[in-house]
């Protein structure tokens, strides 16, 4: 029997699988667009609540619309006590993303709209998930450390409330503002792996919780989420700016990678990195501990130069490079960086689920069913004999 030549996996790179009005990533020019707005114009100018409203409702809200949206989110922040009890029974060393993915699935059992397949019900579920995700993240970090979860504050914005529930302390204005901006920067990024997963599951008419739980499973993989955690671990391993040259040399000689440099789409610096970098510097200076920002800047500069010299081409900084030190300065545990990513990206995931399920054609959704190329063996009818029974 002849064997077919193996076909390289493409990872769907270069293939368009759907249309969207939610966001666009222009890798050549380094632009990220949310509903027509460059993210660099939104970051720091609008709140995460306004960003989420834009992604879900296709336009920035008026003041009255924002007030209603904010009130609705605050109303949905608390999670059922049964879910907190379930968390308390989990091993303290469980991976945070595994716990959170399970809790998102459990939220479905407490949602009064779960059997309603209307777009209005899906929107309400989306709002509940955006509101509750940060509560779940903060609750798990406290529970695993033997602390009681902190109840959401009705007086704080979404980002500030997250940090309050995580630490038990109301964050200062600078930290709260920077964290809010970071949430906006991570809220959406077009058809990345987890968003595609959410849309694929939504194409089966699965509900919002199932779609976003699947997206979280995708995000938990080391090729997608967790890069900024690995950036921070790398910085700690290097330790000081005077050891950067040795680290870069060792990485290039051994064929390794400098975490936070390089991206699957951007062919220039990630525009989000340029927004996060000065925030990391400012928080480091305010804390009297600029070490991690200084080390990051040195690593970016020397890593880019060494890569250019050895490989003959440029490499670019991505969003994870400076979000690592920024989150560290905010006292967020390293293994919670990916859950924080999820707490922001849930707004984008929800927007994509709604678009996949209800936008455009009346026969939406179209069930995703890609083809594959079989490269295994084949035996003809005369050659193919089943084993005889003994």
Please identify every residue annotated as catalytic: 263, 320
Answer whether 218's CB lies under 8 Å from 224's CB: yes
DSSP characters over 161-208: HHHHHHHSSPPPHHHHHHHHHHHHHHS--SS-HHHHHHHHHHTTT--H
Enumerate the β-bridge partners of residue 232. Answer: none
3-state SS, 257-313, equals CCCCECCCCCCCCCHHHHHHHHHHHHHHHHCCCCHHHHHHHHHHHHHHHHHHHHHCC
State how beta strands 31-34 and 23-26 pair.
Answer: antiparallel
How far apart CA 13 and CA 5 sit, in angstroms, is 21
How far apart CA 331 and CA 128 sit, in angstroms, is 26
C-beta atoms surrounding 49 within 10 Å: 24
Answer whether 187's CB lies under 8 Å from 55's CB: yes
Element (H, E) at 26: strand 23-26
- DSSP state at residue 48: H
- Nearest Cα neighbor of 4 from 319, 293, 377 is 377
């Amino acid at each position: 029997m002849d064997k077919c030549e193996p076909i390289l996996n493409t990872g769907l790179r270069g293939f368009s699988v759907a249309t969207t009005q939610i966001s666009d990533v222009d890798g050549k020019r380094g632009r990220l667009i949310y509903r027509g707005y460059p993210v660099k114009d939104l970051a720091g100018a609008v709140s995460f609540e306004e960003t989420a409203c834009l992604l879900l409702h296709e336009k920035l809200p008026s003041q009255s619309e924002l007030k209603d949206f904010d009130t609705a989110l605050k109303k949905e922040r608390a999670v059922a006590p049964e879910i907190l009890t379930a968390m308390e029974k989990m091993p303290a060393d469980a991976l945070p993303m595994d716990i959170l993915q399970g809790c998102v699935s459990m939220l479905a059992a407490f949602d009064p709209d779960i059997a309603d397949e209307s777009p209005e019900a899906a929107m309400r579920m989306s709002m509940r998930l955006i509101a509750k995700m940060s509560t779940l993240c903060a609750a798990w970090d406290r529970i695993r450390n033997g602390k009681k979860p902190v109840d959401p504050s009705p007086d704080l914005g979404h980002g500030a409330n997250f940090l309050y529930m995580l630490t038990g302390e109301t964050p200062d204005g600078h930290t709260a503002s920077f964290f809010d901006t970071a949430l906006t920067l991570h809220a959406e990024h077009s058809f990345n792996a987890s968003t595609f997963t959410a849309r694929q599951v939504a194409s089966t008419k699965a509900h919002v919780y199932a779609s976003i739980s699947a997206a979280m499973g995708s995000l938990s993989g080391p090729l997608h989420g967790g890069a900024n955690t690995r950036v921070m671990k790398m910085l700690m391993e290097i330790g000081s700016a005077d050891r950067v040259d040795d680290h870069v040399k060792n990485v290039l000689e051994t064929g390794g990678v400098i975490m936070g440099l390089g991206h699957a789409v951007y062919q220039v610096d990630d525009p989000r990195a340029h927004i996060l970098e000065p925030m990391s510097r400012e928080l480091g200076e305010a804390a009297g501990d600029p070490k991690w920002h200084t080390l990051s800047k040195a690593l970016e500069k020397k890593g880019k130069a060494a890569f250019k010299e050895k490989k003959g081409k440029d490499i670019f900084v991505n969003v994870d490079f400076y979000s690592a030190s920024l989150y560290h300065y905010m006292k967020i545990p390293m293994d919670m960086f990916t859950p924080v990513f999820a707490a922001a990206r849930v707004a984008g995931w929800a927007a994509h689920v709604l678009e996949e399920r209800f936008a455009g054609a009346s026969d939406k959704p179209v069930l995703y069913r890609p083809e594959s190329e079989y490269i295994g063996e084949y035996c003809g009818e005369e050659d193919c004999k089943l084993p005889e029974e003994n």
